[in-house]
Chains A and B, each alone.
Chain A
Amino acid sequence: MDIVLAFVIGILFACALYLMMRRSMIKVVIGLALLSQAANLLIFTAAGLHRGDPPLIPEGALVPIAPHADPLPQALVLTAIVIGFGVLAFTLVLFQRVYMIIGTDDLDQMRSTDTESTDLKTLPQQEVHEH
């Protein structure tokens, strides 16, 4: 089972990184989503897979019976899923705004922060507010 999951995680990472290197924004978002799932699955697998050994303490005992699943990675994954969900939701909204304002989903068109306008007439101006 570990081997299968290792391959699944590897393929997920590869797909995610491939998608993120594309020029289309929507592929970048899908890439981010896959990356988040790959990381979650990695935590889950790396901490050890146990089947049918719940970490419950039987009546009268003080510690759970020896082979038991570790509940902590599941808590970590749960937190990571929630955070990943929130961040991804923000990214989606951001990318939708980008599409509305710039009118393209081609990342290569988004160069206005990297090139400097040397023409003094077209300098980006910041309006001044007094209050």
Chain B
Amino acid sequence: MNINSANILLVLPIIVPLTTASLGLLLYQYNRVQFIITLLGMFTHFLSAIMLFAHVTQNGIITVTMGNWPAPFGISLVADQFSAIMVLMVGIMGLLVFIFALADITKTQIQYGFHPLYQVLLMGVCGAFLTGDLFNLYVWFEVILITAFVLLVLEGKRQQIEGAVKYVTLNLVASFVFLSAIGILYGKVGTLNLADLALKLEHFDEPHLISTLSLMFIVAFGIKAGIFPLFFWLPASYHTPRITITTIFSALLTKVGVYALIRMFTLVFTQDPAFNQQIFILLASLTMITGVLGAVAQYDVRRLLSFHIISQIGYLIMGLAIATSLSLAASIFFMVHVIFAKSALFLISGIINRLKHTYNLKAMGDLYVTCPALSIMFIVAALSLAGLPPFPGFFAKFALIRAGLEAQHSVVVISALCVSILTLYSMIKIWAEAFWKTTPENCETVTPLKTLSIKSSFLLHMPLISLVLLMVAMTVWANPLFELSRTAAEQLINPQLYIEAVKLSTP
């Protein structure tokens, strides 16, 4: 294996956070040094994600097999357009949420190791997006899981550890289902390299066994992604940690589950598309509907937004269910948009909490008068989430629904449209309660607006403004960005490209 730049680009998004985390752990006593190293590491990671993205966009799928082994024997890392987009999202969100964290995370939590944990989380997510090996994917899932556990309980409050009990138990069950499915798959097929699996399963003579296995994978990834009957850990835990941690979880963790589902069901389990389609259509509709119905009932902003995560996962699965090039492109575009919009909303709720000291909508009010800029940013993110033009959510939903109509899946299209209206309703509810109404007078718990120091005000608002600008950019350049998603979707629809790319790395 000659060491060329492409190979290095592929491992950098994993190596950089690993190095940063290791140095951070070694220097955990020196908060200042640790902070500077982490900041440098974050920027390097961001740059490496951009470089990988640029390279893949220009030259197509790149792949490298670890340890100089030929392809199916060593562990392959593969970056196609979809992976590259997701790694870029990790770079962007990792950096922005890190900046927000500087004003939100307390000194005690930094001493408990927030910085290294955050880096390991980013490493796990990038690893999961880049790996081309099923068992390696399991390992990355565990890396993500164990850092997520610790980040969740970093403050050690009653609510957090109660939420963590549910999160830990259900996610461990998912891991063991995943592991069992890997074991059976290996026993039957004799390989775990995704490209090799795809080749060998093409002419496999026991279709029923493969269907059963694919269901095990749906259960395992479904728990991680938070799809319909398996999402109960999410609203029980996501609203408990500090808002920084909730934001990065909502931006990246469930998306890893969706990514794994899309990868497995466009590359490996493609033998019985009709069977997969039936299941995913049903799951997508129910996920959207239950998610949004849960959200409508909530008065805690974070719980409301957590239920919205679930409902948006439904849209992503809808794109996978329809499984045409247009619908997958729409799913990818939607994924990028929802990461921006949902993170912006969580950050806004964090800033509101800093001003009002509460997450309860009933105790809020007056924000339209006191913080007009915040209100405008909320409007952009909320309307984009609901899918109103001219915001990027509109283009994503438009493409999804058009793909659904072209493939004649009326049920899922109707539920997608109804869920959009309910999403708009719950966004209007936040608007009316938090921004428009006057603060209820009997609320003694509400303290007067607190003036933030300039430094923390900048650190809190900078990531939010960047997210809103990114959303505006997505609107202005919607066409080229959708074309990019289209390229990614084409690669997913034609798994031959992926398989050939992996095989080419044989010396």
**Partner-B contacts on A (CB < 8 A):** 20, 25, 28, 32, 35-36, 38-40, 42-48, 70, 72-73, 76, 79-80, 83, 86-87, 90-91, 94-95, 97-98, 101-102, 107, 110-114, 116-118, 120-121, 123-126, 128-131
Task: Identify the 10 closest CB pairs spanning chains A and B, nearest first.
Answer: A46-B187, A43-B183, A39-B179, A110-B162, A129-B106, A39-B176, A113-B163, A47-B187, A46-B183, A42-B183
Decide: A94 and B168 in contact? CB cutoff 8 A: yes
Q: Is B112 an interface residue (CB 8 A)?
A: no
Decide: B165 and A123 in contact? CB cutoff 8 A: no
Decide: A90 and B158 in contact? CB cutoff 8 A: no
Decide: B135 and A20 in contact? CB cutoff 8 A: no
Residues of chain A within 8 A (CB-CB) of B179 are: 39-40, 42-43, 80
Q: Given A43-B183, A101-B161, verify A116-B299 contact (CB < 8 Å).
A: yes
Q: List 29 A-B contacts (CB under 8 A).
A: A32-B169, A35-B176, A38-B176, A42-B179, A42-B180, A42-B183, A42-B184, A43-B186, A44-B183, A70-B190, A73-B183, A73-B186, A80-B179, A83-B139, A87-B146, A87-B172, A90-B150, A101-B158, A110-B165, A110-B166, A111-B162, A112-B158, A112-B159, A113-B236, A114-B235, A114-B236, A120-B442, A121-B445, A130-B456
Decide: A28 and B158 in contact? CB cutoff 8 A: no
Please measure, in the bound complex, the distance between the C-alpha atom of A116 and the C-alpha atom of B295, giving whole angstroms.
13
Interface residues of B in 129-157 (CB under 8 A from A): 135, 138-139, 142, 145-146, 149-150, 153, 156
Q: Is B237 an interface residue (CB 8 A)?
A: yes
Please measure, in the bound complex, the distance between the C-alpha atom of A102 and the C-alpha atom of B184, giving whole angstroms.
40
Decide: A129 and B107 in contact? CB cutoff 8 A: yes
How far does the Cβ of B354 sit from chain A's closest Cβ, in whole Å?
6
Q: Is B32 an interface residue (CB 8 A)?
A: no
How far does the Cβ of B9 sit from chain A's closest Cβ, in whole Å?
27
Q: Is B173 an interface residue (CB 8 A)?
A: yes
Please measure, in the bound complex, the distance between the C-alpha atom of A90 and the C-alpha atom of B171, giving whole angstroms.
13
Please measure, in the bound complex, the distance between the C-alpha atom of A112 and the C-alpha atom of B158, giving whole angstroms.
8
Q: Is the interface of B mostly helix, strand, loop or mixed?
A: helix
Q: Given A28-B169, A32-B172, A102-B158, verify A76-B135 contact (CB < 8 Å).
A: yes
**Partner-A contacts on B (CB < 8 A):** 106-107, 135, 138-139, 142, 145-146, 149-150, 153, 156, 158-159, 161-166, 168-169, 172-173, 175-176, 179-180, 182-184, 186-188, 190, 235-237, 239-240, 242, 298-300, 303, 353-354, 357-360, 362-363, 440, 442-445, 450, 453, 456
Decide: B363 and A120 in contact? CB cutoff 8 A: yes
Residues of chain B within 8 A (CB-CB) of A42 are: 179-180, 183-184
Interface centre among A25, A91, A126 (most CB of B within 10 A): A126
Of B135, B142, B161, B303, which one neighbours A98 at CB under 8 angstroms? B161
How far does the Cβ of A87 sit from chain B's closest Cβ, in whole Å?
6
Decide: B106 and A126 in contact? CB cutoff 8 A: no
Residues of chain A within 8 A (CB-CB) of B153 are: 94, 97
Please measure, in the bound complex, the distance between the C-alpha atom of A79 and the C-alpha atom of B444, giving whole angstroms.
55
Decide: A20 and B173 in contact? CB cutoff 8 A: yes
How far does the Cβ of A29 sit from chain B's closest Cβ, in whole Å?
9
Residues of chain B within 8 A (CB-CB) of A112 are: 158-159, 162
Decide: B135 and A94 in contact? CB cutoff 8 A: no
Residues of chain B within 8 A (CB-CB) of A86 are: 146
Decide: A102 and B176 in contact? CB cutoff 8 A: no
How far does the Cβ of B48 sit from chain A's closest Cβ, in whole Å?
27
Of B156, B161, B182, B443, which one neighbours A76 at CB under 8 angstroms? B182
Residues of chain A within 8 A (CB-CB) of B180 are: 38-39, 42-43
Q: Given A79-B135, A102-B162, verify A125-B172 contact (CB < 8 Å).
A: no
Contacts A20-B173, A97-B153, A116-B303 known; 5 new A-B pairs at CB < 8 A: A83-B142, A87-B142, A94-B149, A112-B159, A113-B237
Residues of chain A within 8 A (CB-CB) of B172 are: 32, 35, 87, 91
Residues of chain A within 8 A (CB-CB) of B444 are: 121
Decide: A25 and B165 in contact? CB cutoff 8 A: yes
Residues of chain B within 8 A (CB-CB) of A25 are: 165
Decide: B360 and A120 in contact? CB cutoff 8 A: yes
Beta-carbon nearest neighbor of B102 in chain A: A131
Please measure, in the bound complex, the distance between the C-alpha atom of A129 and the C-alpha atom of B153, giving whole angstroms.
18
Beta-carbon nearest neighbor of A37 in chain B: B176
How far does the Cβ of B334 sit from chain A's closest Cβ, in whole Å?
29
Beta-carbon nearest neighbor of A129 in chain B: B106
Residues of chain A within 8 A (CB-CB) of B236 are: 113-114
Decide: A47 and B183 in contact? CB cutoff 8 A: yes
Residues of chain A within 8 A (CB-CB) of B158 are: 101-102, 112
Beta-carbon nearest neighbor of B162 in chain A: A110
Interface centre among B142, B176, B188, B235 (most CB of A within 10 A): B176
Q: Given A47-B186, A91-B172, A116-B300, verify A125-B358 contact (CB < 8 Å).
A: yes
Decide: B187 and A48 in contact? CB cutoff 8 A: yes
Decide: A131 and B159 in contact? CB cutoff 8 A: no
Please measure, in the bound complex, the distance between the C-alpha atom of A44 and the C-alpha atom of B362, giving whole angstroms.
55
Residues of chain A within 8 A (CB-CB) of B188 are: 46
Residues of chain B within 8 A (CB-CB) of A95 are: 165
Please measure, in the bound complex, the distance between the C-alpha atom of A122 and the C-alpha atom of B183, giving whole angstroms.
49
Beta-carbon nearest neighbor of A86 in chain B: B146
Beta-carbon nearest neighbor of B187 in chain A: A46
Residues of chain B within 8 A (CB-CB) of A120 are: 360, 362-363, 440, 442-443, 445
Residues of chain A within 8 A (CB-CB) of B106 are: 129, 131
Residues of chain A within 8 A (CB-CB) of B453 are: 130
Decide: A97 and B186 in contact? CB cutoff 8 A: no
Decide: B156 and A116 in contact? CB cutoff 8 A: no
Please measure, in the bound complex, the distance between the C-alpha atom of A107 and the C-alpha atom of B236, giving whole angstroms.
13
